[in-house]
Amino acid sequence: MIRITFLTACVVAALSLSGCKLVKNTPDDEKAVAADASGDDARTDQRIADTFEPTLLPFVREKALEVPVLRSLLSQGLDAAGQAHGNRGAGQGAAWNFALTGTGTVVSAKLDTRARVADLDTDADGVAELTIQLGPVIRGTALRDFAPFYKFDDFRDQIEFAKLGRALNDRISGAIVLPEGDLIGRTMSFTGVVALKSADEALVVTPISVGVTP
């Protein structure tokens, strides 16, 4: 009886082992990112980590035109200026995007909103020539669209592509620090990107850097 019981236990143990499957315990940072929409945020975070500081910011600074230079180029035609100095966003009718840098006097500012802006006079005529977006809400996708290394075909779909544009704006807005008090009359320097669909369109700058002095 004892022998039979022992043999039965052995058979049960063997059958149990044959039904087991060993599963590797994969660390979270080694797990594959899902190819569907659930992986969008992870891919966006990785793209920003890989490109924002090492590639995007130096690229904008290198390509940035002074305001009078861009104005002169635009007077000769938007497409010609864009082909020589800009990058066009994806899709039919997309804007040309240019890197821009300059300094001016703040002639007006709206700071009681989440979409703060400052209007700058860059040629000392008392009239604002451009608007700087100061966040925390920054509109548009100029930062994304100016960079030729953000290619639409590399994204899952237009939704993931849009998420990158918003994430880049959020990254910039978090880095903008303004001094206390009124901005009007102060000197503001900037480097950023502007999107244009026509040569005479208002210049609204998405900055990568902003500096304010008394």
Digitized pLDDT (tens) for each residue of the chain, 214 residues in all: 444 444 444 444 444 444 544 444 545 554 577 776 667 889 999 999 999 999 999 999 999 999 999 999 999 999 999 999 999 988 888 999 999 999 999 999 999 999 999 999 999 999 999 999 999 999 999 999 999 999 999 999 999 999 999 999 999 999 999 999 999 999 999 999 999 999 999 999 999 999 999 8
The pLDDT, as a whole number, for residue 122 is 97
The pLDDT, as a whole number, for residue 5 is 47
The pLDDT, as a whole number, for residue 57 is 98
Per DSSP, helices labelled H in 52-183 are: 57-63, 67-74, 78-85, 142-146, 158-173
Decide if 86 contacts 146 (C-beta within 8 A).
yes
Which tokens is 89 given? 């966003």
Question: What SS3 state is found at 185?
Answer: coil
- State the Cα torsion 143-144-149-153 to the nearest 10°: -170
The pLDDT, as a whole number, for residue 40 is 80
Q: How many CA atoms lie within 13 A of 135 on its CB side?
A: 19
Query: Phi/psi of residue 2, each to 5°?
Result: -65, -40
The pLDDT, as a whole number, for residue 18 is 46
Which tokens is 126 given? 């008392």
Peptide bond just before 136 cis, omega within 30 deg? yes
